[in-house]
Amino acid sequence: MKEISAIGTAYERGRAQAGAASADVVRNATVSRVERARAEGVIDAAAESYLAAQRRFHEGHDPEGLAELAGVAAGFGLSEPDLFAHLHLGTLRDIKGGASLIDGCSAWATASGPEGPLVVKNRDTSGVQVGVQCVLRHSGPDIVTGQVLSLGSLGSLAAWSSGINAAGLAVADTQVAVNRHSVGWLRYFLLPRLLARARTVAEAVVLIRSLPHAGGGTLVLADREGATAAVELSATGPVITQGGPQWRTNHYTAPHTREETLGPDGDSIASNSHRRFDFLARVLPDQAWTVRKAKALMATHPGPDTAPLCQHAESTEGAETISSVVYSCSIGGMEISDGAPCHNQWQRIEPCR
């Protein structure tokens, strides 16, 4: 998998993506999808008004994220407004009433074990991100936590999936299609800010609670000291649970947020979300998890007593697991499979410094 190292301002780090893939490849995974959404009526006058409000919010609270996105656009010669809209496509489709997931995923965190706390994620999507996935290694004046390692996609902000910083804080997200959105943090902007500003789960929770959220999606977190959390990023306010093993898939679980989850409507990622969640609930507690055991778990296929953590297009109506990652909070490192974890094509990435 491509690894891109960048030191400098947020803009310079974004621009450093250029050269890792052709502009046409990145355009197909980003701007072209926005153009199709406009043609389908997903992005209409109301959507443009919402995007304008979102831009004003992030200008006030995350200028670094917008600067990074501007650097990405400049590097590939793409439209920055369209890249901004691309980050919001899942939200805009929710607002139109669709429940199709752009990025699915199963994610979990464990507080302790022979190798320390872990954060683990399978990245499930329709496959458009396969050719643009990358590992990003970032340092800069706005990153106060030391170097950040993240899994993302060219054409998007760093940590457009998950990441870890040199302080040992790791975070991963999952998507949830919801029926309620507001103006606030989009999690694709929130993820890199958490890694840039927070050294511990406690610091991350303070930041998460400090501002409203756009709605949709979850986070799981762990830090070097063994603190863990799961966050449901509801537009009505984040729902945070802390301590012990934590896990999330593609639906909300809290009593006052679960009704926000849109129905699957035939979407394979959403429709098996409960099976994956329940399976993790059975197997995660009361086990001493190592990196090796975590990798084996994420290669689990559907069966009588299992669930499709590792998904394949031929068996899930187009959804597939395009990567899996295990973050070790004790060393600030990651192991990643370039492709489904069952293919056993894992590589170890040098830890954060």
pLDDT of residue 269: 54
Q: Provide CATH code, domain 106-349.
A: 3.60.60.10
Residue 127 has pLDDT above 80, yes or no: no
Joined together, the tokens standing for residue 189 give 């902007």
Mean pLDDT of 337-346: 94
Average pLDDT along the chain: 93
Mean pLDDT of 150-155: 96
Residue 65 has pLDDT above 70, yes or no: yes
Mean pLDDT of 84-94: 95
Residue 100 has pLDDT above 80, yes or no: no
Share of the chain above pLDDT 70, in %: 93
Of the listed ranges 138-147, 243-252, 257-266, the least confidently predicted one is 257-266
Tell me the pLDDT tens digit for each residue of 177-205. 999 999 999 999 999 999 999 999 999 99
Residue pair 69/79 in contact (Cβ under 8 Å)? The answer is no
pLDDT of residue 262: 84
Tell me the pLDDT tens digit for each residue of 14-54. 999 999 999 999 999 999 999 999 999 999 999 999 999 99
Mean pLDDT of 215-221: 97
pLDDT of residue 154: 96
The 3-class secondary structure across the chain, one letter per residue, is CEEEEEECCHHHHHHCCCCCCCHHHHHHHCHHHHHHHHHCCCCCHHHHHHHHHHHHHHHHHCHHHHHHHHHHHHHHCCCHHHHHHHHCHHHHHHHCCCCCCCECCEEEEECCCCCCCEEEEEEEECCCCHHHEEEEEEECCCCCCCCEEEEEECCCCCCCCEEEECCCCEEEEECCCECCCCCCECHHHHHHHHHHHCCCHHHHHHHHHHCCECCCCEEEEECCCCCEEEEECCCCCCEEEECCCEEECCCCCCCCCHHHECCCCCCHHHHCHHHHHHHHHHHCCCCCCCHHHHHHHHCCCCCCCCCCCCCCHHHCCCCEEEEEEEEECCCCEEEEEECCHHHCCEEEECCCC
pLDDT of residue 285: 95
pLDDT of residue 267: 47
- Please state the domain extents for the chain: 2-95, 106-349
pLDDT of residue 98: 60
Residue 101 has pLDDT above 60, yes or no: no
Tell me the pLDDT tens digit for each residue of 250-302. 999 999 899 999 875 444 456 789 999 999 999 999 899 999 999 999 999 99
Nearest-angstrom CA–CA distance, 24 and 76: 9
pTM: 0.95
Residue pair 137/3 in contact (Cβ under 8 Å)? The answer is yes
